Amino acid sequence: VKTFPWIDKNRLGVTGGSYGGYMTNWLVTHTRCFKAAVTQRSIANHLISYASSDLTGCSAEYKDFTDFMKAELKKSPVVYADKINIPFLILHGMKDMRCPVEHAHQLYTAVKDTHPDLPVRLVLFPNANHSLTMTGPMTLRKAHYKEMIDWFVRFLKEGQL
Protein backbone atom coordinates (compact mmCIF):
# COMPACT_ATOMS: atom_id res chain seq x y z
CA VAL A 1 0.00 0.00 0.00
CA LYS A 2 2.89 2.33 0.79
CA THR A 3 4.81 1.37 -2.36
CA PHE A 4 2.04 1.42 -4.96
CA PRO A 5 -0.26 4.47 -4.97
CA TRP A 6 -2.83 2.71 -7.18
CA ILE A 7 -3.75 0.35 -4.31
CA ASP A 8 -6.84 1.57 -2.49
CA LYS A 9 -6.20 0.81 1.18
CA ASN A 10 -9.90 1.20 1.89
CA ARG A 11 -10.83 -1.64 -0.47
CA LEU A 12 -8.34 -4.41 0.37
CA GLY A 13 -9.59 -7.96 0.34
CA VAL A 14 -7.72 -11.10 1.28
CA THR A 15 -8.15 -14.69 0.19
CA GLY A 16 -6.22 -17.92 0.21
CA GLY A 17 -6.72 -21.65 0.07
CA SER A 18 -5.26 -24.48 2.13
CA TYR A 19 -2.29 -22.98 4.01
CA GLY A 20 -3.20 -19.70 2.32
CA GLY A 21 -6.63 -20.14 3.89
CA TYR A 22 -5.00 -20.64 7.27
CA MET A 23 -3.03 -17.43 6.68
CA THR A 24 -6.23 -15.64 5.63
CA ASN A 25 -7.86 -16.78 8.88
CA TRP A 26 -4.82 -15.69 10.88
CA LEU A 27 -4.60 -12.30 9.17
CA VAL A 28 -8.22 -11.37 9.75
CA THR A 29 -7.95 -12.36 13.41
CA HIS A 30 -4.73 -10.38 13.95
CA THR A 31 -4.89 -7.31 11.64
CA ARG A 32 -7.35 -4.61 10.66
CA CYS A 33 -6.14 -3.71 7.17
CA PHE A 34 -8.61 -5.82 5.16
CA LYS A 35 -12.24 -4.93 4.41
CA ALA A 36 -13.46 -8.38 3.32
CA ALA A 37 -12.09 -11.92 3.31
CA VAL A 38 -12.64 -15.28 1.65
CA THR A 39 -11.04 -18.34 3.21
CA GLN A 40 -10.92 -21.50 1.11
CA ARG A 41 -10.45 -25.11 2.28
CA SER A 42 -8.58 -23.83 5.31
CA ILE A 43 -7.24 -24.83 8.68
CA ALA A 44 -9.07 -23.19 11.57
CA ASN A 45 -8.36 -25.51 14.51
CA HIS A 46 -5.12 -27.47 14.71
CA LEU A 47 -6.71 -29.97 17.07
CA ILE A 48 -8.90 -31.16 14.19
CA SER A 49 -5.83 -31.71 12.03
CA TYR A 50 -4.10 -33.61 14.84
CA ALA A 51 -6.66 -36.38 14.79
CA SER A 52 -8.39 -36.20 11.41
CA SER A 53 -5.92 -35.21 8.71
CA ASP A 54 -2.62 -36.15 7.14
CA LEU A 55 -1.33 -32.88 8.66
CA THR A 56 -0.94 -34.39 12.10
CA GLY A 57 0.96 -32.71 14.89
CA CYS A 58 3.44 -34.34 17.24
CA SER A 59 3.51 -34.00 20.99
CA ALA A 60 7.00 -35.49 21.40
CA GLU A 61 8.75 -32.12 21.78
CA TYR A 62 6.50 -31.01 24.66
CA LYS A 63 7.02 -31.90 28.32
CA ASP A 64 3.47 -33.18 28.54
CA PHE A 65 0.46 -33.67 26.33
CA THR A 66 -1.48 -30.78 27.89
CA ASP A 67 1.23 -28.35 26.80
CA PHE A 68 1.03 -29.73 23.29
CA MET A 69 -2.75 -29.31 23.17
CA LYS A 70 -2.53 -25.74 24.50
CA ALA A 71 0.13 -24.88 21.89
CA GLU A 72 -2.04 -26.31 19.11
CA LEU A 73 -4.99 -24.21 20.23
CA LYS A 74 -2.86 -21.06 20.52
CA LYS A 75 -2.00 -21.28 16.82
CA SER A 76 -5.61 -22.01 15.80
CA PRO A 77 -7.48 -19.05 14.25
CA VAL A 78 -10.83 -20.28 15.62
CA VAL A 79 -9.63 -19.28 19.10
CA TYR A 80 -9.50 -15.65 17.88
CA ALA A 81 -12.76 -15.70 15.91
CA ASP A 82 -14.16 -12.89 18.03
CA LYS A 83 -11.54 -10.59 16.44
CA ILE A 84 -13.00 -11.02 12.94
CA ASN A 85 -14.94 -7.84 12.18
CA ILE A 86 -15.19 -7.81 8.37
CA PRO A 87 -17.44 -9.62 5.87
CA PHE A 88 -16.14 -13.19 5.92
CA LEU A 89 -16.86 -15.96 3.41
CA ILE A 90 -15.86 -19.58 4.07
CA LEU A 91 -15.64 -21.97 1.09
CA HIS A 92 -14.95 -25.64 1.75
CA GLY A 93 -15.32 -29.06 0.13
CA MET A 94 -17.37 -31.55 2.09
CA LYS A 95 -14.99 -34.42 1.28
CA ASP A 96 -11.75 -32.59 2.03
CA MET A 97 -9.49 -35.03 3.88
CA ARG A 98 -6.49 -32.69 4.10
CA CYS A 99 -8.49 -29.96 5.87
CA PRO A 100 -11.62 -31.71 7.10
CA VAL A 101 -14.86 -29.77 6.72
CA GLU A 102 -15.14 -29.48 10.51
CA HIS A 103 -12.64 -26.59 10.25
CA ALA A 104 -15.21 -24.64 8.24
CA HIS A 105 -18.07 -25.54 10.56
CA GLN A 106 -16.17 -24.49 13.68
CA LEU A 107 -14.94 -21.21 12.24
CA TYR A 108 -18.35 -20.26 10.86
CA THR A 109 -20.07 -21.08 14.15
CA ALA A 110 -17.49 -19.17 16.20
CA VAL A 111 -17.72 -16.04 14.04
CA LYS A 112 -21.54 -16.09 13.94
CA ASP A 113 -21.67 -16.73 17.69
CA THR A 114 -19.42 -13.78 18.53
CA HIS A 115 -20.73 -11.42 15.79
CA PRO A 116 -24.35 -12.31 14.96
CA ASP A 117 -24.84 -9.26 12.71
CA LEU A 118 -21.60 -9.58 10.74
CA PRO A 119 -21.94 -10.71 7.10
CA VAL A 120 -20.60 -14.26 7.33
CA ARG A 121 -21.40 -17.03 4.89
CA LEU A 122 -20.45 -20.70 4.75
CA VAL A 123 -20.62 -22.44 1.38
CA LEU A 124 -19.98 -26.18 1.31
CA PHE A 125 -19.38 -27.99 -1.96
CA PRO A 126 -20.75 -31.55 -2.11
CA ASN A 127 -18.40 -34.31 -3.24
CA ALA A 128 -15.49 -31.82 -3.35
CA ASN A 129 -12.09 -32.65 -1.95
CA HIS A 130 -9.06 -30.47 -1.20
CA SER A 131 -8.25 -30.12 -4.91
CA LEU A 132 -11.63 -28.61 -5.82
CA THR A 133 -10.26 -25.43 -7.39
CA MET A 134 -7.71 -27.31 -9.50
CA THR A 135 -9.20 -30.66 -10.46
CA GLY A 136 -12.79 -30.67 -9.26
CA PRO A 137 -15.80 -30.82 -11.56
CA MET A 138 -15.99 -27.68 -13.70
CA THR A 139 -19.48 -26.83 -12.43
CA LEU A 140 -18.23 -26.80 -8.83
CA ARG A 141 -15.08 -24.85 -9.73
CA LYS A 142 -17.18 -22.21 -11.47
CA ALA A 143 -19.55 -22.02 -8.51
CA HIS A 144 -16.59 -21.69 -6.13
CA TYR A 145 -15.05 -18.80 -8.05
CA LYS A 146 -18.43 -17.14 -8.55
CA GLU A 147 -19.04 -17.15 -4.78
CA MET A 148 -15.64 -15.57 -4.18
CA ILE A 149 -15.91 -12.93 -6.90
CA ASP A 150 -19.47 -12.02 -5.92
CA TRP A 151 -18.37 -11.62 -2.29
CA PHE A 152 -15.56 -9.24 -3.13
CA VAL A 153 -17.70 -7.28 -5.59
CA ARG A 154 -20.39 -6.92 -2.95
CA PHE A 155 -18.14 -5.84 -0.08
CA LEU A 156 -15.29 -4.02 -1.81
CA LYS A 157 -17.16 -1.93 -4.34
CA GLU A 158 -16.16 1.69 -4.61
CA GLY A 159 -18.18 4.17 -2.61
CA GLN A 160 -19.61 1.51 -0.31
CA LEU A 161 -17.24 1.99 2.62
**For 16-66, how does the pLDDT look when each residue is reduced to its tens digit (9 = 90+)?**
999 999 999 999 999 999 999 999 999 999 888 777 777 667 778 889 999
Which active-site residues does the annotation give?
Answer: 18, 130
Q: State percent of the chain over pLDDT 90.
A: 78
- What does pLDDT average to over the chain? 92
Per residue in 85-112, pLDDT tens? 999 999 999 999 999 999 999 999 999 9
Under 8 Å between Cβ of 108 and 115: no
| pLDDT score of 159 more than 70 | no
pTM of the model: 0.92
